[in-house]
Amino acid sequence: MTAIATYVSEYSRSFRRAPARSQTVSTKRLPAKERKKQILRSAIRVFARSTYHGATTKSISEEAGVTEALIYRYFGSKRALFTEAVQLTSDRLVNGLEEALDSHRDNPVKAITECFKYYVHLLEKHEDFAKMIFLVLSELDQEDIRETYLPYQERALKAIASAIDHWKDRGFVPNFVDTKTAAWLFFGTYLILALVKQTTGGIPMDTSYAIQLARAFVSGRDKD
């Protein structure tokens, strides 16, 4: 199993929906760290389903099977819980992107294709992810959300720009390509895919077509 496949598998397990539960509070004892993760995963589902303003600590507590008091104990407020949800989803996106780029640094076609495949996997496997993307965008006029999200965006753009400059040095990408512009377009692909997911209910991605696009970008000088 490749490194990126392992990462995707671990991510999938971390967001696997819990089995149906009754409205009673969960009596299963969990270590504090695991309980906090459980609440955070439940909160992401509720925020994605109801938006930030529509979600309540009560609905989150019911989703997680805990008391509202426990939510305040671990997070302090709904806003703090939301910012941690933004942090987690942003971190997952950027980590997978960096992993794909680092694993195939000298094969740009493979790197680009793996990034696209990772985006698609997140959006197809985890329905809440696409919704959270647009929820974060809608809250970017709020300073606390900007402070939480923008460092991850900058991290992603830096990783992509570094890869593009490396490909330029190796002769894979023409020097006339503006690195900053290309990095933004590359990073923005996940927004387009999220829009496709939200408007059509699926992402009919043809991997071979993605490879053709990647080859056009790198002037056909990929390494098999």
d(CA 132, CA 15): 13
Average pLDDT, consecutive stretches of 10 residues, N- to C-terminus, the chain (224 residues): 51 47 53 91 95 96 95 96 95 93 92 88 83 91 96 97 95 91 90 83 67 61 45
Return the CA Rg of the chain.
19
30-60 residue pLDDT tens? 788 899 999 999 999 999 999 999 999 999 9
pLDDT at 27: 47
Class of domain 3-16+79-217: mainly alpha
Q: Give DSSP secondary structure letters for 167-220.
A: HHHTTSS-TTS-HHHHHHHHHTHHHHHHHHHHHHSS----HHHHHHHHHHHTTT
pLDDT at 220: 42
- Domain spans in the chain, listed from the N-terminal domain onward: 3-16+79-217
